[in-house]
């Protein structure tokens, strides 16, 4: 059996950090060797410090593991999965990359940097070619690879198969789960019996990140896709699972049946990566699907469910925001990096 790849988690006690722990438990390739968190948590046992709130019990393999500072000199790993806040990540992730670590980041700090890959493996795996550009430009021994915002990552895999029809513009209205804001992000008295029609920075991310993801890598840089995107983002009282109403305008004006078939035919072969779902896009034909409670765990949380495909073209998309939209996305990126010989 091949030797396991040593994996560290930065920001291990938070909501996304816990999803990383869950995703890496019993992983066939990666072994958790370091859990890093804030100075106030460093030196303490993970089981005594992390306020575990996921649906499964805390894995035994991490309960007695001592938390270390978020410092490349203290972390024992080959690859680190970053669940750090963006402001902190901007400094820390670069420090890890300089020291030779592969950084699979869920943070937004480096997503739109020209030499940093922003990747959804089923959509733009070739953009990982930016790693060589990044290392040459910055002189790093390691590198940073990012995954997109949790709402962007639910929408973009549905847009990729529509590009064959001459995708011109997209309008999207989101209904985003409270878990996307972290444990302390939305007060219960603010969200219960309510909809909050604003999420800071979210609309800008949804309008810019897809252009890089759907752009063309020419060997030295990514040429952004020529698509106009307008987003309206809303927080709703759902625990997990972002739902999106999407309007797509295309030059070829496909029928709903053609779009439905394009979704069904979208089956990128990444080569049996452990976290890769059997089907990226799951089409539901019922009039009242997708629904977060019924569909968020499809493909172990890594599939995106689409439905209500109508003339226009208008459709609904839904996905698990802290699995496919966060930790699972970073893990899938790292699996692809390993397959490419980058780990």
pLDDT at 56 (0 to 100):
83
| Residue 11: pLDDT band with limits 50, 70, 90 | very high
pLDDT for 255-305, tens place per residue? 999 999 999 999 998 988 999 999 999 999 999 999 999 999 999 999 999
pLDDT at 183 (0 to 100):
74
Same domain, 316 and 335: no
Same domain, 111 and 163: no
Grouping H, G, I as helix, E, B as strand and the rest as coil, residue 72 is: coil
pLDDT at 45 (0 to 100):
96
Same domain, 290 and 210: yes
Asked if residue 1 has pLDDT above 60, the reply is no
Considering the candidates 150, 233, 320, 338, report the single residue annotated as catalytic.
Answer: 150
Same domain, 142 and 229: no
pLDDT for 89-100, tens place per residue? 999 999 999 999
pLDDT for 146-172, tens place per residue? 999 999 999 999 999 999 999 999 999
Task: Tell me 327's DSSP state.
Answer: I
Per-residue DSSP letters for 33-56? EEEEE-TTTTTSBHHHH----SSS
Asked if residue 332 has pLDDT above 60, the reply is yes
Same domain, 162 and 296: yes
Q: What is the CATH number of the domain that holds 60?
A: 3.40.50.720
pLDDT for 97-136, tens place per residue? 999 999 999 999 999 999 999 999 999 999 999 999 999 9
Strands 167-176 and 143-146: unpaired
Same domain, 177 and 215: yes
User: Active site includes 150?
Assistant: yes
**Tally of CA atoms within 13 A in the half-sphere of 131 that contains its CB:** 24
pLDDT for 212-244, tens place per residue? 999 999 999 999 999 999 999 999 999 999 999
Asked if residue 322 has pLDDT above 90, the reply is yes
Asked if residue 2 has pLDDT above 70, the reply is no
Considering the candidates 127, 233, 242, 338, report the single residue annotated as catalytic.
Answer: 242
Asked if residue 55 has pLDDT above 90, the reply is no
Do 147 and 153 form a contact (C-beta atoms < 8 A)?
A: yes
Same domain, 174 and 138: no
pLDDT at 51 (0 to 100):
87
pLDDT at 181 (0 to 100):
87
Do 45 and 76 form a contact (C-beta atoms < 8 A)?
A: no
pLDDT at 302 (0 to 100):
97
Same domain, 185 and 223: yes
Q: Is the pTM above the cut of 0.85?
A: yes
Q: What is the CATH number of the domain that holds 182?
A: 3.30.360.10
Same domain, 257 and 113: no
Which of the two residues, 302 and 38, has the higher pLDDT score? 302
pLDDT at 271 (0 to 100):
84
Q: Tell me what the mean pLDDT of segment 76-98 comes to.
A: 96
User: Active site includes 27?
Assistant: no
d(CA 234, CA 191): 11
d(CA 133, CA 135): 6
| Residue 53: pLDDT band with limits 50, 70, 90 | confident
Do 85 and 107 form a contact (C-beta atoms < 8 A)?
A: yes
pLDDT at 68 (0 to 100):
97
Same domain, 173 and 94: no
Do 100 and 61 form a contact (C-beta atoms < 8 A)?
A: no
Asked if residue 6 has pLDDT above 70, the reply is yes
What's the structural domain count of the chain?
2
Do 317 and 258 form a contact (C-beta atoms < 8 A)?
A: no
pLDDT for 180-204, tens place per residue? 988 778 888 999 999 999 999 999 9
Same domain, 32 and 72: yes
Same domain, 141 and 237: no
What contacts 228, CB < 8 A, 6 or more positions away?
A: 168, 169, 170
The parent domain of residue 173 ranges over 152-320
């Amino acid at each position: 059996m091949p030797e396991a790849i040593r994996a560290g988690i930065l920001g291990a006690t938070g909501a996304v950090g816990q999803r990383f722990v869950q995703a890496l438990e019993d992983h066939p390739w990666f072994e958790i060797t370091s859990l890093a968190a804030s100075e106030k948590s460093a030196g303490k046992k993970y089981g005594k410090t992390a306020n575990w709130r996921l649906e499964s019990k805390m894995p035994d393999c991490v309960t007695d593991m001592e938390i270390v500072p978020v410092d490349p000199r203290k972390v024992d790993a080959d690859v680190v999965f970053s669940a750090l806040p963006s402001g902190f990540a901007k400094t820390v992730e670069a420090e890890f990359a300089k020291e030779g670590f592969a950084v699979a980041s869920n943070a937004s700090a480096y997503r739109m940097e020209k030499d940093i890959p922003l990747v959804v493996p089923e959509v733009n795996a070739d953009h990982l070619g930016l790693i060589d550009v990044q290392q040459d430009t910055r002189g790093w021994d390691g590198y940073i690879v990012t995954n997109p915002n949790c709402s962007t990552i639910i929408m973009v895999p549905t847009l990729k198969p529509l590009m064959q029809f001459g995708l011109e513009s997209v309008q999207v209205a989101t209904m985003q789960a409270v878990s996307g804001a972290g444990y302390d992000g939305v007060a219960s008295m603010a969200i219960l019996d309510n909809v909050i029609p604003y999420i800071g920075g979210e609309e800008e991310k949804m309008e810019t990140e897809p252009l890089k993801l759907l752009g063309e890598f020419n060997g030295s840089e990514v040429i952004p896709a020529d698509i106009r995107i307008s987003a309206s983002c809303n927080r709703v009282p759902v625990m997990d699972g972002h739902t999106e109403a999407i309007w797509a305008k295309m030059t070829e004006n496909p029928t709903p049946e053609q779009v439905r078939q394009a979704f069904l035919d979208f089956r990128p072969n990444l080569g049996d990566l452990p976290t890769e779902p059997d089907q990226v896009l799951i089409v539901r034909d019922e009039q009242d699907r997708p629904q977060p409670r019924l569909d968020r765990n499809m493909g172990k949380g890594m599939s995106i469910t689409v439905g209500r495909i109508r003339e226009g073209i208008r459709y609904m998309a839904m996905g698990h925001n802290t699995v496919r939209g966060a930790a699972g996305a970073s893990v899938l990126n790292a699996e692809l990096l390993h397959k490419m010989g980058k780990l």
